[in-house]
Amino acid sequence: MTTADLLVSDWDWEPTVVAGCAAFAIAYLAAARPRNARQTILFLFGTLLLLLDLVSPIDTLGDTYLFSMHVLQHFLLALIIPPLWLLGTPQGLVQAALRRPRLRAIERTLARPAVAWPLGVGAMLVWHVPVLFNAALASDPVHLFQHVSFLVTGTIFWWPILCPVNERRLPALPAIVYLFSACTACSLLGAVLTFSPPGAYPAYLHPEDPLGILPLIRNGWGVDPASDQQLGGMLMWVPGCLVYLTAILATVGRWYAAPERAASDPA
């Protein structure tokens, strides 16, 4: 099998995944009003990424062959898809939901930085502890729980930064500290993965080869277990920190723009 063959043929159109993503998109289009074109594109693009993350060759490679592809899956689930969903959610939808006392109480608890930060960062750290990571590879229910937990805790983590109701977002300085500390934790995890010898995730040392693509991976792509784990660590380290850095720069930009908007408003 060639790389092109793999990219074209190895798609797992799991009906529950496809139906779930479709239902999620339809529910958004029905409920999120009023919304603008930018919000719609962002939210639906996040949902499309979720679908691709779970049915494309990324999933097969991550589950069976390459640790680095599994890390890429986690990266998308925790750091890319939740921000896209939040940026695509209309303010009015959240305001309406928060009029319900129970939802408002839950939001107030989960949106606290002391809760949201440990949940978001902790999920990323804990799920890469070898015993838990290996358990997810060995059990479909645990694996499903792992993916759902990344989406849920990722959304909770990003809520204080990207809440659709601007007044509920963290002020600039606490937001920068919140994001920078998360970047530091992500960098430390990436560094540990990059510089640790392979073997902590034994399924990737001598993977089963149901598709017959292991020679392609080892010889064609030149990826052995050591370089695979190094690539996974670098994916966590560099792109992960770039996401946090982008959010920090956006926060600084809003901070500097706020006095200008205040000065331009009529008295």
* Structural domain contains residue 249: yes
Q: How many CB atoms lie within 10 A of CB 54?
A: 20
For 99, other C-beta atoms within 10 Å of its C-beta total 8
Strands, DSSP E only, in 47-161?
A: none
Q: What is the pLDDT of residues 138-156, one digit of tens each?
A: 999 999 999 999 999 999 9
Q: Is residue 64 part of a domain?
A: yes
Question: Is 262 among the domain residues?
Answer: no
Position 10 scores a pLDDT of: 85
Tokens (6 digits) for 12? 């797992």
Query: 107 pLDDT exceeds 50?
Result: yes
pLDDT at 146: 96
Q: What local confidence, expressed as pLDDT, does residue 267 receive?
A: 46
Task: Specify if 263 maps to a domain.
Answer: no
For range 185-201, the mean pLDDT: 92
Range of the domain at 147: 9-256
Q: Residue 260: is its pLDDT beyond 60?
A: no
pLDDT class for 264, splitting at 50, 70, 90? low
C-alpha–C-alpha distance, residues 88 and 40, integer Å: 6
User: What pTM was computed for the model?
Assistant: 0.92
For residue range 43-52, what is the model confidence (pLDDT) as tens digits?
A: 999 999 999 9
Cα(235)–Cα(149) distance, integer angstroms: 20
> At residue 263, does pLDDT exceed 50?
no
Residue 78 · residue 123 · CB < 8 Å? yes
In a domain, 264, yes or no: no
The number of folded domains in the chain is 1
